[in-house]
Amino acid sequence: MDNSKSVSLAVIKRLPRYYRYLGDLLDNGITRISSKELSNKMNITASQIRQDLNNFGCFGQQGYGYNVELLYNEIKKILGLDKEYSIVIIGAGNIGQALANYVNFERRGFYFKALFDINPKLIGMTIRGIEVRDVDTLPDYLKNNPIDIAVLALPKANAKEVAAIVTNSGVKGIWNFSHIDLDKKAGVKFENVHLTDSLMTLSYKLNEDEIIERFNVLPKR
């Protein structure tokens, strides 16, 4: 009998929040915490926290709560942050440069190895010691360098072509900022980042009272 179970995307998306909050607790010398105390800090119900964590095992003890360091390290393993990842960025414009300059990625084990662009004005410049290469050299680079994740920070007109190159070169993960749904390929994981979607969600929240009144709906809490 197959005892495996799937974990919902909503739970997976909450795990980084748990990891951040637990890291803050460790930095402040807190060694244990109850689900209720964690609930108060994160604005998530205690029952939701217990349900989320129970997907992966029994980490808490009744009457004691959670060992902060133990839970932090377990979530680190669940998120795969006990490993290191090599990354290339395709598209060295504003988003690509901002990502390359963000040092916190390295603290989590994500290391940028190369940047690529089509713009002659960007090719040859360096960002935190990493040279921007001509995108035409991307296939050869991927052939000779083991890369785990490709970041697509380029216009959507070029995204599908570049995605095909990186997936055919053995890259297993794509972090896509290109505002286009890419064709999925077996063995390749995608995470799409739509910045305008996030901003429009904020716009909804700013107008929520008006929307509730107009459409006679209640937001799900």
Question: What pLDDT digit, counting tens, does each position of 56-97 carry?
Answer: 987 877 767 899 999 999 999 999 999 999 999 999 999 999
Angle (nearest 5°) at CA 57 between 52 and 61: 90
Q: What percent of the chain has pLDDT over 90?
A: 76
119 in any annotated domain: yes
Q: What is the CATH number of the domain that holds 118?
A: 3.40.50.720
The answer to whether residue 214 scores a pLDDT higher than 90 is no
Q: Are residues 176 and 119 in the same domain?
A: yes
Q: Are residues 90 and 161 in the same domain?
A: yes
> Can you give the residue range of the structural domain that contains 30?
9-78
34 in any annotated domain: yes
How many CB atoms lie under 10 A from the CB of residue 22? 23
Rounded-to-integer distance, Cα 19 and Cα 31, Å: 14
Q: Are residues 62 and 89 in the same domain?
A: no
pLDDT of residue 182: 82
- Number of domains within the chain: 2
CB 149 within 8 A of CB 175: yes
Rounded-to-integer distance, Cα 12 and Cα 208, Å: 26
Q: 33 burial class (0-12, 13-18, 19+ CB within 10 angstroms)?
A: buried
Rounded-to-integer distance, Cα 122 and Cα 133, Å: 8
pLDDT band (50, 70, 90) for residue 185 = confident
Q: What is the CATH number of the domain that holds 65?
A: 1.10.10.10
Token pair of 62 as six digits: 């009744």
207 in any annotated domain: no
Residues in Cβ contact with 20 at an 8 Å cutoff, skipping those fewer than 6 apart: none
